Chains A and B, each alone.
Chain A
Amino acid sequence: EAQVTQNPRYLITVTGKKLTVTCSQNMNHEYMSWYRQDPGLGLRQIYYSMNVEVTDKGDVPEGYKVSRKEKRNFPLILESPSPNQTSLYFCASSLNSLYSNQPQHFGDGTRLSIL
Protein backbone atom coordinates (compact mmCIF):
# COMPACT_ATOMS: atom_id res chain seq x y z
CA GLU A 1 0.00 0.00 0.00
CA ALA A 2 1.32 3.43 -0.99
CA GLN A 3 1.84 5.45 2.13
CA VAL A 4 3.75 8.04 4.11
CA THR A 5 4.61 6.81 7.59
CA GLN A 6 5.42 9.12 10.47
CA ASN A 7 6.66 8.13 13.89
CA PRO A 8 5.85 8.73 16.64
CA ARG A 9 2.18 9.64 16.33
CA TYR A 10 2.17 11.31 19.72
CA LEU A 11 5.00 12.62 21.88
CA ILE A 12 5.11 14.59 25.11
CA THR A 13 8.57 15.79 26.04
CA VAL A 14 10.37 18.57 27.86
CA THR A 15 12.10 21.73 26.75
CA GLY A 16 15.61 21.21 25.46
CA LYS A 17 15.51 17.44 24.99
CA LYS A 18 16.49 16.67 21.40
CA LEU A 19 13.94 14.71 19.41
CA THR A 20 13.52 13.30 15.92
CA VAL A 21 10.29 12.64 14.07
CA THR A 22 10.80 10.11 11.32
CA CYS A 23 9.08 10.13 7.94
CA SER A 24 9.27 7.41 5.34
CA GLN A 25 7.49 6.96 2.00
CA ASN A 26 7.30 3.91 -0.26
CA MET A 27 6.23 5.62 -3.50
CA ASN A 28 9.67 6.55 -4.81
CA HIS A 29 8.77 10.23 -4.57
CA GLU A 30 11.48 12.82 -5.03
CA TYR A 31 9.72 15.65 -3.21
CA MET A 32 9.22 15.51 0.55
CA SER A 33 8.11 18.19 2.95
CA TRP A 34 7.33 18.93 6.59
CA TYR A 35 4.47 21.11 7.82
CA ARG A 36 3.19 22.23 11.14
CA GLN A 37 -0.49 22.86 11.72
CA ASP A 38 -1.66 25.30 14.36
CA PRO A 39 -5.23 26.46 15.03
CA GLY A 40 -6.19 29.41 12.87
CA LEU A 41 -2.93 29.31 10.92
CA GLY A 42 -3.47 26.39 8.60
CA LEU A 43 -0.44 24.34 7.55
CA ARG A 44 2.90 26.07 7.27
CA GLN A 45 5.83 24.57 5.43
CA ILE A 46 8.92 24.04 7.58
CA TYR A 47 11.40 22.45 5.15
CA TYR A 48 11.17 20.64 1.89
CA SER A 49 13.46 18.45 -0.19
CA MET A 50 13.51 18.17 -3.95
CA ASN A 51 15.66 15.03 -3.87
CA VAL A 52 18.43 13.25 -1.98
CA GLU A 53 20.84 15.74 -0.39
CA VAL A 54 18.73 18.69 -1.63
CA THR A 55 16.80 20.54 1.06
CA ASP A 56 15.48 24.07 1.38
CA LYS A 57 13.71 26.22 3.91
CA GLY A 58 10.00 26.72 3.93
CA ASP A 59 8.22 29.55 5.70
CA VAL A 60 8.93 28.56 9.31
CA PRO A 61 12.32 26.76 9.49
CA GLU A 62 13.62 28.28 12.74
CA GLY A 63 14.32 25.68 15.40
CA TYR A 64 14.17 22.72 13.01
CA LYS A 65 16.67 20.67 11.03
CA VAL A 66 16.17 18.09 8.32
CA SER A 67 18.29 15.70 6.33
CA ARG A 68 17.71 13.66 3.19
CA LYS A 69 20.31 10.95 2.96
CA GLU A 70 17.99 8.44 1.31
CA LYS A 71 15.13 9.00 -1.06
CA ARG A 72 12.52 7.36 1.13
CA ASN A 73 13.36 9.05 4.46
CA PHE A 74 13.08 12.66 5.57
CA PRO A 75 13.46 13.04 9.34
CA LEU A 76 12.60 16.24 11.20
CA ILE A 77 14.97 17.10 14.02
CA LEU A 78 14.31 19.45 16.92
CA GLU A 79 17.71 20.00 18.52
CA SER A 80 16.44 21.98 21.49
CA PRO A 81 12.64 21.93 21.51
CA SER A 82 10.71 24.79 23.06
CA PRO A 83 7.04 25.08 24.05
CA ASN A 84 6.24 27.18 20.96
CA GLN A 85 7.01 24.11 18.87
CA THR A 86 4.03 22.31 20.36
CA SER A 87 1.98 21.53 17.28
CA LEU A 88 0.61 18.92 14.90
CA TYR A 89 3.25 17.97 12.33
CA PHE A 90 2.67 16.46 8.92
CA CYS A 91 5.12 14.91 6.52
CA ALA A 92 4.14 14.77 2.85
CA SER A 93 5.62 13.50 -0.38
CA SER A 94 4.99 13.78 -4.10
CA LEU A 95 6.64 13.33 -7.44
CA ASN A 96 8.72 16.27 -8.52
CA SER A 97 6.99 18.49 -10.95
CA LEU A 98 8.17 20.82 -13.66
CA TYR A 99 4.72 22.40 -13.72
CA SER A 100 3.84 22.31 -10.00
CA ASN A 101 1.03 19.85 -10.70
CA GLN A 102 1.70 17.00 -8.31
CA PRO A 103 -0.56 16.60 -5.26
CA GLN A 104 1.07 15.57 -2.04
CA HIS A 105 0.43 12.42 -0.07
CA PHE A 106 0.33 13.09 3.65
CA GLY A 107 1.27 11.06 6.67
CA ASP A 108 -1.19 10.70 9.54
CA GLY A 109 0.45 13.44 11.58
CA THR A 110 2.52 13.64 14.76
CA ARG A 111 1.18 15.52 17.73
CA LEU A 112 4.05 17.02 19.69
CA SER A 113 3.72 18.60 23.13
CA ILE A 114 6.76 20.37 24.55
CA LEU A 115 6.45 21.14 28.26
Chain B
Amino acid sequence: AQKITQTQPGMFVQEKEAVTLDCTYDTSDQSYGLFWYKQPSSGEMIFLIYQGSYDEQNATEGRYSLNFQKARKSANLVISASQLGDSAMYFCAMREGRGGYQKVTFGTGTKLQVIP
Protein backbone atom coordinates (compact mmCIF):
# COMPACT_ATOMS: atom_id res chain seq x y z
CA ALA B 1 0.00 0.00 0.00
CA GLN B 2 1.16 3.51 -0.73
CA LYS B 3 2.21 5.36 2.40
CA ILE B 4 1.44 8.76 0.88
CA THR B 5 -1.18 9.20 -1.81
CA GLN B 6 -1.72 12.34 -3.82
CA THR B 7 -4.57 11.64 -6.20
CA GLN B 8 -4.42 14.87 -8.22
CA PRO B 9 -1.59 14.78 -10.76
CA GLY B 10 -2.50 18.27 -11.95
CA MET B 11 -4.79 21.11 -10.99
CA PHE B 12 -5.73 24.55 -12.27
CA VAL B 13 -6.85 27.44 -10.10
CA GLN B 14 -7.83 30.99 -10.94
CA GLU B 15 -5.63 33.70 -9.48
CA LYS B 16 -6.93 34.96 -6.10
CA GLU B 17 -9.04 31.83 -5.59
CA ALA B 18 -8.39 29.21 -2.91
CA VAL B 19 -7.29 25.68 -3.81
CA THR B 20 -7.05 22.41 -1.88
CA LEU B 21 -4.41 19.79 -2.66
CA ASP B 22 -5.24 16.35 -1.36
CA CYS B 23 -2.99 14.03 0.61
CA THR B 24 -3.82 10.79 2.40
CA TYR B 25 -1.33 8.74 4.37
CA ASP B 26 -0.94 5.33 5.90
CA THR B 27 1.07 4.52 9.00
CA SER B 28 0.81 2.39 12.10
CA ASP B 29 3.06 4.72 14.10
CA GLN B 30 1.46 6.90 16.75
CA SER B 31 4.08 9.60 16.33
CA TYR B 32 4.58 11.01 12.86
CA GLY B 33 4.90 14.30 11.06
CA LEU B 34 3.29 15.48 7.85
CA PHE B 35 4.96 18.05 5.63
CA TRP B 36 4.22 19.91 2.44
CA TYR B 37 6.98 21.03 0.11
CA LYS B 38 6.84 23.19 -3.00
CA GLN B 39 9.05 22.60 -6.03
CA PRO B 40 8.98 25.43 -8.58
CA SER B 41 10.16 24.87 -12.12
CA SER B 42 13.65 25.95 -11.02
CA GLY B 43 13.85 22.68 -9.10
CA GLU B 44 14.55 23.57 -5.48
CA MET B 45 12.51 22.03 -2.66
CA ILE B 46 10.88 24.57 -0.36
CA PHE B 47 9.33 23.61 2.97
CA LEU B 48 5.84 25.08 3.41
CA ILE B 49 4.06 23.68 6.45
CA TYR B 50 4.16 20.93 9.09
CA GLN B 51 1.51 19.07 11.07
CA GLY B 52 2.33 16.70 13.92
CA SER B 53 0.27 13.64 14.72
CA TYR B 54 -0.34 14.93 18.24
CA ASP B 55 -1.29 18.45 17.19
CA GLU B 56 -4.94 19.14 17.85
CA GLN B 57 -5.10 22.33 15.85
CA ASN B 58 -4.62 22.59 12.11
CA ALA B 59 -1.32 24.19 11.14
CA THR B 60 -1.26 27.54 9.37
CA GLU B 61 1.59 29.48 7.77
CA GLY B 62 0.54 32.67 6.05
CA ARG B 63 -1.59 31.71 3.04
CA TYR B 64 -1.01 28.00 3.66
CA SER B 65 -3.11 25.92 5.98
CA LEU B 66 -3.28 22.22 6.56
CA ASN B 67 -6.64 20.51 6.91
CA PHE B 68 -5.68 17.61 9.18
CA GLN B 69 -8.24 14.85 9.67
CA LYS B 70 -6.51 12.19 11.70
CA ALA B 71 -9.31 9.62 11.67
CA ARG B 72 -9.44 9.81 7.88
CA LYS B 73 -5.64 9.92 7.64
CA SER B 74 -5.73 12.98 5.44
CA ALA B 75 -3.60 16.11 5.46
CA ASN B 76 -4.80 18.39 2.71
CA LEU B 77 -2.99 21.63 1.87
CA VAL B 78 -5.13 24.70 1.40
CA ILE B 79 -3.66 27.69 -0.41
CA SER B 80 -5.75 30.82 -0.06
CA ALA B 81 -5.71 33.75 -2.50
CA SER B 82 -3.61 31.95 -5.13
CA GLN B 83 -0.84 33.89 -6.83
CA LEU B 84 0.92 33.28 -10.13
CA GLY B 85 4.05 32.40 -8.17
CA ASP B 86 2.21 29.47 -6.59
CA SER B 87 2.45 27.57 -9.88
CA ALA B 88 4.66 24.61 -8.99
CA MET B 89 4.76 20.96 -7.99
CA TYR B 90 3.57 20.29 -4.47
CA PHE B 91 4.64 17.25 -2.49
CA CYS B 92 3.14 15.81 0.65
CA ALA B 93 5.58 13.89 2.86
CA MET B 94 5.46 11.88 6.06
CA ARG B 95 8.22 11.39 8.58
CA GLU B 96 7.70 8.33 10.76
CA GLY B 97 9.51 6.75 13.61
CA ARG B 98 11.36 7.94 16.65
CA GLY B 99 14.53 7.08 18.42
CA GLY B 100 16.58 4.77 16.27
CA TYR B 101 14.97 5.28 12.89
CA GLN B 102 13.11 7.96 11.01
CA LYS B 103 12.07 7.28 7.45
CA VAL B 104 10.56 9.85 5.15
CA THR B 105 8.08 9.06 2.39
CA PHE B 106 6.93 11.46 -0.31
CA GLY B 107 3.84 11.38 -2.47
CA THR B 108 4.00 11.58 -6.24
CA GLY B 109 3.10 15.25 -6.25
CA THR B 110 0.45 17.59 -7.64
CA LYS B 111 1.28 20.10 -10.35
CA LEU B 112 -0.60 23.31 -9.66
CA GLN B 113 -1.06 25.92 -12.33
CA VAL B 114 -2.46 29.31 -11.43
CA ILE B 115 -4.35 31.02 -14.25
CA PRO B 116 -4.38 34.82 -14.47
Contacts and interface: CB of A to CB of B under 8 A. Distances in A.
Q: A and B: real partners?
A: yes
Interface of A: 31, 33, 35, 40-45, 48, 50, 56, 58-59, 88, 90, 92, 96-106, 108-109
Nearest to B4: A42
B33 interface: yes
B40 interface: no
A100 B33 contact: yes
B106 A35 contact: yes
A101 B32 CA distance: 7
Nearest to B93: A43
B102 A96 contact: yes
User: A43, A45, A50 — which one has the most chain B CB atoms within 10 A of its CB?
Assistant: A43
A56 B44 contact: no
Q: Interface range on chain B: under 10, 10 to 19, 20 to 34, or 35 or more?
A: 20 to 34
Nearest to B47: A103
Interface of B: 4, 6, 31-33, 35, 37, 43-45, 47, 50, 52-54, 91, 93, 95-109
The 3 closest A-B pairs by CB, nearest first: A106-B45, A100-B33, A43-B106
Contacts of A59: 103, 105
Given A43-B45, A100-B96, A106-B37, 12 more contacts: A35-B106, A58-B103, A90-B45, A96-B102, A97-B33, A98-B99, A99-B33, A100-B53, A100-B98, A105-B47, A106-B45, A109-B43
B102 A50 contact: yes
B40 to A, nearest CB: 12
A50 to B, nearest CB: 7
A102 B104 CA distance: 11
B102 A45 contact: no
Contact of A42 (B47, B91, B101): B91
A92 B104 CA distance: 11
Contact of B52 (A31, A41, A101, A106): A101
